[in-house]
Structure 1
Amino acid sequence: MAQHPTHDRLAIPMTQQRSQINHQPFLQYNRRGQRIRVEGKAYVRLGLFKRVECELRDISPGGARICVPEGIALPDQFVMTLPQFKYPRTCMKRWESGRDVGVEFRMD
């Protein structure tokens, strides 16, 4: 049986029911590394003197998902500090859904 081209691109098994498919398939299947679910804090620097505490939801070698406080809008690029890392990381905002934001760690 031939696979539907969309399913082939997204690497979703044909046997998987529609209700089981993540509503953001490109985010789930287009990763460089596997995300690990965590509970912790992340600190985002906004400007020179403002630091916002966020909830760290999951992390991978290339990025993370954080939950920002109500009313906070993140810029496209910002610096984030995580207790797991020795140094702050420059991050790019890749997606947002409600208060959840997906970030990519920059290597510069």
Structure 2
Amino acid sequence: MGRRHRVIQQGRIVLGPDRLVACEIADLSAAGARLRVPARFTLPETFPLVIAAHELRTVEVRLRWRRGDFAGVTFEGAGAYIG
């Protein structure tokens, strides 16, 4: 899975053409991330994630687990994140 790095970056979960949910990216690796997103938001199995780092980047992710306000995702296919 690769080494995970603690980060605090802003992100947006795309749930539809007019629906973005703000999240915080708490850990990041080349293969996935841990997101902080309020538990009241139901996340689909796969969704686009916009990562605001040095530049905006959108990657397709797959939900792997969910515990309270945290969610673990893996990056799909060619969308793997390279910091």
Do they fold alike, i.e. is TM over 0.5? yes
The CA distance in 2 between the partners of 1:70 and 1:63, in whole Å, is 19
Q: After TM superposition, give the deviation of residue 47 of structure 1 in Å.
A: 1.2
Q: After TM superposition, give the deviation of residue 86 of structure 1 in Å.
A: 4.7
Residue of 12, 37, 58 corresponding to 1:68: 37
Percent sequence identity over matched residues? 32
Matched with 1:45 is: 14
Q: After TM superposition, give the deviation of residue 55 of structure 1 in Å.
A: 1.1
Q: Which has the higher strand share?
A: 2
Counterparts of 1:1-108 in structure 2 under 5 Å? 32-84=1-53, 86-108=56-78
The CA distance in 2 between the partners of 1:107 and 1:46, in whole Å, is 20
The CA distance in 2 between the partners of 1:70 and 1:92, in whole Å, is 17
Matched with 2:81 is: none
Does the residue aligned with 1:87 lie in a helix, a strand or coil? strand
The CA distance in 2 between the partners of 1:46 and 1:96, in whole Å, is 16
Q: Which has the higher helix share?
A: 1
Q: Which has the higher contact order (CA 8 A, sep 6+)?
A: 2
Unaligned runs of 5+ in 1: 1-31
- Which has the larger Rg? 1
Closer, same or farther: CA 52–38 of 1 in aligned 2, 3 Å? same
The CA distance in 2 between the partners of 1:60 and 1:44, in whole Å, is 18
TM-score w.r.t. the length of structure 1 is 0.66
Q: After TM superposition, give the deviation of residue 69 of structure 1 in Å.
A: 2.0
Unaligned runs of 5+ in 2: 79-83
